[in-house]
Amino acid sequence: MPSRIFPINKSPIVVAHISDFHIGSYHFVANLMNRTVLELNELRPDIVIVTGDLTNEGFRQEYMTAKSYLDGLECERVLVIPGNHDSRNVGYLHFQELFGPLFQNMEWEGILVMGMDSSEPDLDSGQIGREKYGRIVDYFHSASGFKIFALHHHLLPVPGTGRERNIVFDAGDVLELLVYAGVDLVLTGHKHVPYVWKLEDLYVVNAGTISSLRLRGHTKPCYNVIEIREDLVRVFRKYPFGGRDVIAQFGVGVSDTQRELSGVAREIIGSDL
Ligand SMILES: [Fe+2]
Ligand SMILES: [Fe+2]
């Protein structure tokens, strides 16, 4: 893997991570959604990443409302991926018409982002799928920038969410590939409970919901703001109408992880081992 020098002309790069609007749900609060858009326009992030469940049932009118909110963002780089609710009722067709492909990449100022659909039509559970593993490794492994992988479903259990369910079916294989490819940050949603795990050199950051009161316990609506400098990354949790807390802070180095990979990873990566 090449050395991790990625020139940033503008520092810090600011990435906003919002998720789980659930427009159309009884629990959707337009005031929270409007406030988040307003706060982001004041923050002026370089990139906005939306990790799914924009809609509650995947209906076209819900999608149109979601698009009108996102069109209000004064940000040139907005990457959107669908969640399980967006794929209900064949809603992924509306997603593709209004937001583009179900898998999207974005590069800017040394930051690489890959957003990947993990939803399965009309199921709450999801997967990445073996056929996409090569795409992940090809995109990230030889790159030297700061690497972000975004999907809707969580890859690791999230505390405070009751009975564990709906981790992507192939979470183990995906995590191994992401670590191998040198991914720095995984952004997910789905559970409406924010959390951060560190696994090897990988930070896995789950977002809360910004605008739904379908919450667990005492969790509040929130979103994430990530500041990326060449030597330091800070992840903040921001509450609409409220303050923000630092929830993770780390340097970006060269991974020295050396160990045997599983059969699946070996099959994907081939002779590189
Ligand atoms: Fe959700
Ligand atoms: Fe979800």
Range 197-213 average pLDDT: 95
- Domain count of the fold of the chain: 1
Give the distance (Å) from ligand 1 centre to CA of residue 85: 7
- Residue 231 counted as domain residue: yes
Above 70 in pLDDT, residue 2? no
The answer to whether the beta carbons of residues 73 and 66 sit under 8 Å apart is no
Give the distance (Å) from ligand 2 centre to CA of residue 24: 14
Give the distance (Å) from ligand 1 centre to CA of residue 257: 34
Q: What local confidence, expressed as pLDDT, does residue 268 receive?
A: 73
Range 108-126 average pLDDT: 95
- Residue 2 counted as domain residue: no
- Residue 75 counted as domain residue: yes
Range 262-268 average pLDDT: 75
CA distance 211 to 220: 10
Residue ranges of E strands in 158-239: 185-188, 195-199, 202-206, 223-228, 233-238
- Residue 265 counted as domain residue: yes
Q: What local confidence, expressed as pLDDT, does residue 259 receive?
A: 59
- Residue 3 counted as domain residue: no
Q: What is the per-residue pLDDT across 159-204, written as a single tens digit (0 to 9) for each?
A: 999 888 888 999 999 999 999 999 999 999 999 999 999 999 999 9
CATH number at residue 119: 3.60.21.10
Range of 211's domain?
A: 13-272
Confidence of residue 273 (pLDDT cuts 50, 70, 90): very low
Give the distance (Å) from ligand 1 centre to CA of residue 209: 7
Give the distance (Å) from ligand 2 centre to CA of residue 151: 10
- Residue 153 counted as domain residue: yes
Neighbours of 73 (CB within 10 A): 18
Give the distance (Å) from ligand 2 centre to CA of residue 251: 30
- Residue 4 counted as domain residue: no
Residue 23, token pair as written in the block: 């427009």
